[in-house]
Amino acid sequence: MIVEIGHYALILSLSVAIVQSILPLLGARRGDARLMETGTIAATGGFVLITIAFSALVTAHVTSDFSVLNVYQNSQSAKPLLYKITGVWGNHEGSMLLWVLILAFFGSLVALFGRDLPAALKANVLAVQAWILTAFLLFILLTSNPFTRLEPAPMDGQGLNPILQDIGLAIHPPLLYLGYVGFSIAFSFAVAALIDGRIDAAWARWVRPWTLIAWIFLTLGISMGSYWAYYELGWGGWWFWDPVENASFMPWLAGTALLHSALVMEKRAALKIWTILLAILTFSLSLLGTFLVRSGVLTSVHAFATDPTRGVFILCILCLFIGGALSLFAMRASSLEGGGLFAPISREGALVFNNLFLTTAAATVLVGTLYPLLLEVTIGKKISVGAPFFDLTFGPLMVPLLFAVPFGPLLGWKRGDLLGAGQRLYFAAGVALAALLVTLALTSGARILAAFGFALAFWLIAGSLTDLVLRAAFLKVGWRSGLSRLIGLPRSAFGTAFAHFGLGVTVLGIITVSSFQTENITTMAPGQTVDAGGYAITFEKIVPRAGPNYEEQGALFSVRQGGVEMTTLDTAKRFYPARQTSTTEAGIWTHWFSQLYLSLGDPSADKRSVVVRIWWKPLVTLIWIGGIFMAIGGAFSLADRRLRVGAPSRRRQAVPAAVRA
C-alpha cells in the first residue's frame, strides 16, 4: 500500500511539474500575477509529493519489502539499518529519485525565499526548473521505476554491493547531488534572463548565493568521495582520473569559474554574457555527468547501471536542454548589454584570467573523458586516456593559475597595480623561497620538482592570508586594534582568504604525498616485523570474525617507533556471501596530518603468510582538509551581509554619510 502511495505521488508530481512548466511562463508573458503565482504553489506542492514518494521507497527498504523489485535487487534482511537506508540511493532507480527530490527541493527554496524577486523573473525561473523536473520524472517513470512490484515475492534480497556498504554512501551521493543539482538554479536563472532579454545587477546578486551553495556541496562531495575511494578501494590512491570522478570534477571547475565571474558581474556589472554562458555550461556538465554515470556508457568502479534505453533517454534530455539553452543564448546574447570597462591588469582582469584557465581545465578533462568514446564511435579505434595524460595537460594548466591566485584579491577594481600587489606579497614570496631552498637542501637538490611544488603551496597559503593581514593593518595599528579591524572586515574577505588558503593546503598535501610517500610490499607471517616509513610494524595475529552480513579474516598489526608502541592497526579481508564478493578493509593510522596505510593482499599458497602493502603517506589528510577549508570559505562568503538579499543593509546607510563628511 505504502509503495503504491509513493508511486501515485510520483505520477502526481509529474502532472504538477507539467503545469508548473507552462502556467507561470504564460503568466509572465501576459503580466498575469495569478498565473505567475501558480509557480510558487506548484513548486512547493511538487516537492511535498516527491518527498512522499521518496519516503515510501525508504520505508520499503527499511521494512525489507522484497515484493518491490528495487528492494529485492539491492537489499537483504540481514543488512544493518544504516545501509538499508543508504541503499535506497545505492542503485540506479533510487539515486535518480534522490536526484529529482533534490531538484524539487531547490525549486521549492526559490519559491519560498524568492518573495523579493521580480515576479516575472521568479515565474520564468520556476518554469525552467519545472522543465528539468518534468524530463527527469518522465525518465524515472518510463525507464527506471523504483516502485515496480515482483510477484511472487522472494524470501530474501540479493544484497547491496559490498563496496557501497560504508558510511561514505550515506554522505557522498547526497552531497554530490546537492552540488550537481544545485547548479540547476543558476541554469534556470540564466535561461529565464535570456527569455526575458534582460539582466541586471539584481540578477547577479541572486545567482551568486545559489551558485555558492551548490559549489560548497560539490566541493565537500568531491573531497568526501575522494577520501572514501582512498580508504575503501585499498590501493591508497586518492584520485584516479576515472571517468566518473571526472564527471563530478568538470562541473566543479566550471562552477568555480562561474562563482568568480558572478562576482565581477555583481560588483562591476561586467562579464554579463560570459556569466550567463558559464551558468549554462556548468549545469550542462552536471547533466553530462549524470548521463555518463547513469547510462552505463562508461563502465567503471562507480557505474552500476547498464541498459541502453536509459542511456538514449538521458542523451535526449541532455541534447534538449544543452542544445536549447545554447540556441537561446546564441539568439539573445547579443541583445544583452555588455558593461563595465576595465584594464587588463585589474581585479576583473585577474578574474578573466582565472576563468580562462578554469574553463580550459574543464575542457581538457571533458575531452580526455569523452575522447576514447568518440574515437571508438567514429573510427572504431580503442584508446585509453588515463592519469599520465591528465598529469601532462591538467598539471601545467594549474601552475600559472595557482601562481596568480594571491594577486587577484590584492588588485584594485577597474585598474590595478601589479607592482604594488607584488610588493605587498613579498612576505609570501619569502615563505615560498624558503620552502624551495629548505626542500632542496634537505634532499641534496635531488627533488627539484617537489621543491617548486612546495614553494607554490606555501606561496598560496601565505599569499591567501596576506590580504586579511594587510586589511586589518596589524603592522600599522598594532595587535589589538588590528584584531578588531580584522573582525570588522566583510565576511566575503574571509571567504576568499579561507577558500584560497584551503587550495594551498590541498596543493601542499598533493605535493608531499606524491613526492615523499614510501611504499613497502612484502609477504608477512604472524610474528614478523617490517620497517616502513620509520616505524616497525609487527604482524601480531589473525582473528576470524563475523559481521551481520559478512565473514572476515581480521589481521592485527602493532606499530612501534623506537620500541614504543604507537598504535595497533586492524585490517581485514571481508567476504559477503549474498554477493559472493570480498572487499579489503584497510588499516589506517592517522598521525598528525600523515597516515600509515596498510592493506592485505592475497594469502600465500600454504595460508601461513599473506602479502601486505604498507604505505607511509606524509600530509595526505591535507588534501581533504583543504577541501573543507574551501567549503568553509564558501560558507563565509554566503554569510556576507551584501549577499543576503532582503536583509537590511547597514552599509547602504553608512556610505552616504561617509561621502558627505
Among residue numbers 116 through 135, which ones bind another protein (CB under 8 A)? none
What's the rounded Cα separation, in Å, for the pair 111 and 642? 21
Give the angle subtended at the CA of 97 by the CAs of 124 and 13, to the nearest 5°.
Answer: 50
Burial annotation 291-329 (CB, 10 A radius, 16+ → b, else e)? bbbbbbbbeeebbbbeeeebbebbeebbeebbeebeebb
Using the minimum distance from each CB to another protein, give the nearer residue, 343 or 655.
343
Q: Measured between alpha carbons, how far is 126 from 113 in angstroms, rounded to an integer?
A: 12
Q: 210 to 239, contacts with another protein by CB under 8 A?
A: 235, 237
Q: Are 637 and 643 in contact (CB under 8 A)?
A: yes
Among the residue ranges 109-117, 186-194, 386-394, 632-640, the one whose residues contact another protein (CB under 8 A): 386-394
Residue 583 bridge partners (DSSP) = 574
Backbone conformation region of residue 445, classed left if phi is above 0, alpha if psi is from -120 to 50, else beta? left
| Contact flags string 177-216 toward another protein, x per CB under 8 A | ----------------------------------------
Q: 580: buried, middle or exposed (CB in 10 Å: 19+, 13-18, 0-12)?
A: exposed
One residue of 534, 548, 577, 646 binding another protein per CB under 8 A: 534
Q: Of these, 375, 404, 486, 566, which contacts another protein (CB under 8 A)?
A: 375
Tell me: does residue 338 bind another protein (CB under 8 A): yes
Q: Which residue number, 105 or 427, has a Cβ lying nearer to another protein?
A: 427
Task: Select from 45, 225, 243, 627 the one that contacts another protein (CB under 8 A).
Answer: 243
Task: Report the chain's terminal Cα–Cα distance, integer Å.
Answer: 72
All 3 cell numbers of residue 606? Answer: 600454504
Interface with another protein by CB under 8 A: which range of 213-221, 350-358, 409-417, 628-636? 350-358
Where does this chain touch another protein (CB under 8 A) — which range of 15-23, 51-59, 146-154, 368-376? Answer: 368-376
Residue 430 Cβ, how far from another protein at the closest point, in Å?
3
**Of 77, 327, 518, 529, which one interacts with another protein (CB under 8 A)?**
518
For residue 334, report the phi and psi dihedrals to the nearest 5 degrees.
-65, -25
The answer to whether 435 and 455 have CB atoms below 8 angstroms apart is: yes
Cα–Cα nearest to 219, from 211, 229, 231 = 211
Q: Does 419 bind another protein (CB under 8 A)?
A: no
Contacting residue, 11, 438, 566, 635, with another protein by CB under 8 A: 438
The residue among 209 and 368 lying less far from another protein, judged by its C-beta, is: 368
Alpha-carbon span 440 to 518, nearest angstrom: 19
Classify 415 as helix, strand or coil: coil
CB atoms within 10 A of CB 609: 16
Residues 495-514 that bind another protein (CB under 8 A): 512
Contacts with another protein in 564-623 (CB under 8 A)?
Answer: 593-594, 601-602, 611, 613, 616, 618-619
Work out which of 360, 514, 558, 581 binds another protein, going by CB under 8 A: 360
Site membership for another protein, residue 404 (CB under 8 A): no
Burial class (CB in 10 A: 0-12, 13-18, 19+), 651: exposed
CA dihedral 196, 199, 204, 207 (to 10 degrees): 10
In the bound complex, what is the minimum distance in angstroms from residue 351's beta carbon to another protein?
A: 11
Residue 80 sits in the site that holds another protein (CB under 8 A): no
Cβ at position 482, least distance to another protein in Å: 12
Q: Does 647 bind another protein (CB under 8 A)?
A: no
- For another protein, the binding residue among 34, 381, 607, 650 (CB under 8 A) is 381
**Alpha-helical segments (H) within 386-525:** 387-404, 418-424, 426-442, 448-472, 474-477, 479-488, 491-516
Neighbours of 518 (CB within 10 A): 12
Per CB under 8 A, 439 contacts another protein: yes
**How many residues bind to another protein according to rule CB under 8 A?**
74
- Could you tell me the smallest distance in angstroms from the CB atom of residue 234 to another protein? 9
In this complex, which beta carbon is closest to another protein, that of residue 139 or of residue 274?
A: 274
Choose between 520 and 558: whose C-beta lies nearer to another protein: 520
Residues 448 to 487 in contact with another protein, rule: CB under 8 A: 454, 458, 462, 475
Query: DSSP labels for 33-63?
Result: HHHHHHHHHHHHHHHHHHHHHHHHHHHHHHT
> In the bound complex, what is the minimum distance in angstroms from residue 463's beta carbon to another protein?
12
What binding mask, one character per residue, do residues 140-179 give for another protein by CB under 8 A, x or -?
Answer: ----------------------------------------
CB of 350 to another protein, least distance (A): 12
Instruction: Work out the angle at residue 359's Cα, subtended by the Cα atoms of residues 358 and 361, and round it to the nearest 5 degrees.
Output: 65
C-beta closer to another protein: residue 519 or 565: 519
- The pattern of x and - marking residues 14 through 43 that bind another protein according to CB under 8 A reads ------------------------------
* 8 versus 353: smaller Cβ distance to another protein: 353
Q: Is 241 in the site for another protein (CB under 8 A)?
A: yes
Stretch of residues binding another protein (CB under 8 A), selected from 187-195, 327-335, 353-361, 651-659: 353-361
| C-alpha span between 538 and 74 (Å, rounded) | 39
Q: Of the two residues 309 and 604, which places its CB atom closer to another protein in the complex? A: 604
CB of 53 to another protein, least distance (A): 33
Give, in order, the Cα–Cα distances in Å from 449 to each of 90, 384, 395, 434, 453.
41, 27, 12, 15, 6
Residues in 271-310 at the binding interface with another protein, rule: CB under 8 A: 298-301
249 near another protein, rule: CB under 8 A = no
Cell of 417: 597595480
CB of 260 to another protein, least distance (A): 14
- Residue 561: all three cell numbers together: 617507533
Q: How many CB atoms lie within 10 A of CB 37?
A: 17
Which residues lie below 8 Å from residue 593, measured CB to CB, with a gap of 6+?
509, 619, 620, 621, 622, 625
Could you tell me the smallest distance in angstroms from the CB atom of residue 523 to another protein? 5
Closer CB to another protein, residue 71 or residue 435? Answer: 435
In angstroms, the CA 125 to CA 184 distance is 10
* Residue 384 within binding range of another protein, rule CB under 8 A: yes
Smallest gap, in angstroms, from Cβ of residue 244 to another protein? Answer: 9
The full DSSP string for 363-411 is HHHHHHHHHHHHHHHHT-------HHHHHHHHHHHHHHHHHHTTTGGGS
